[in-house]
Amino acid sequence: MSLVPIYFVDAFTTNGNSAFTGNPAAVCFLDYDDDISDDMKQKIAAEINLSETAFVSQGWTKDHKLMTAEGSQLYRRTLRWFTPTNEVQLCGHATVASTKALMEAELTDKYLDPATKNVTVNFESKNRGKLGAAVSKDNGRITLNFPSNPTHKLNKSEHPWIDEMIVTTLGERVSPEFVEDVQYSPGTKILLVRLSDGLTHAELRQVSPDFKKLLRIDTGDFVHDIIVTVKGVSPSEGEDAGPNFYSRFFAPWDGVDEDSVTGVAHTVLTPYWTQEFSKKESREIGILFARQHSTRGGNLYCTLLGDRVNLAGEARVVIKGQMFV
């Protein structure tokens, strides 16, 4: 039996970095990723039963330390993410949580950037390669650098299940007549459903999917998750005017009916809304203020950088302890 350090962290919080907002994730520290089996990792994630449990280690195996040819550490930590039912390829809020937990454990002092004085942590993921996280010295905001996942418009004639999926996702209180756009992200298998600009975040909260029925719709493994989104205020009005777009994220295929705040969703939403605002305002768009409009709610600050996106937000540790494994 061994003791595994574990942290519960609220990521992408609101209300001045308040606890019990944003999305909770568990973070487990291992010496090496193979110290416990993948089956045990999955059992731990199921036991914790949060949307994501992250496993952070110093290397994949004792014989595979994360070193460059020159002998200096290139990747500071490995990182994997498990839902209660399966491992996922990428998770933003659990990466923010992992960065915050490393800071809380005082394991980040050697990553201080001497030029900016910001803390920089590089993770090596199993399926998505290098992922960066930078912690601002000014406000403590954690910024992730993730691959961008653009979308394209779907042809309904090629996917006859789309109408049924939209109706099933929106529920009885929001008419499919209010759908303005339907797009698809092949990199994530996420379906993006945009509501009409005349609707507000209040109508977005009325969306009520039938999750059991969603799981019965046969898309041929085409769709894994669904975003429903609506436009907010113009970026030109400034951050104090409110979010530029709102969203909700549904992932029953991963054992999570509705996720509180989802980094991966914003790798899809950031290129989509950046393009939409750029076309409307005929100018280059910088940071977009986003609100994931779940019950807990979450704030993100999103910037498109070519084929990458920066996703920034705040995080707060709410529990730390040890697990017997």
Q: What does 236-296 look like in DSSP terms, one character per residue? A: GG-GGG--SEEEEEEEGGGTEEEESS-HHHHHHHHHHHHHHHHHHHTS----EEEEE-SSS
Helices (H), the chain: 38-48, 92-104, 162-170, 201-204, 211-216, 263-281
Q: What is the CA radius of gyration of the chain?
A: 20
The residue annotated as part of the active site, out of 52, 124, 258, 314, is: 52
Tokens, residue 96: 């923010």
DSSP helix/strand/coil, 82: strand
Q: 106 catalytic, yes or no?
A: no
- Side-chain half-sphere of 272: how many Cα atoms within 13 Å? 30
Q: Are 55 and 83 in contact (CB under 8 A)?
A: no
Residue 238 burial (CB count, 10 A):
10
Strands 119-125 and 77-82 turn out to be parallel
Active site residues: 52
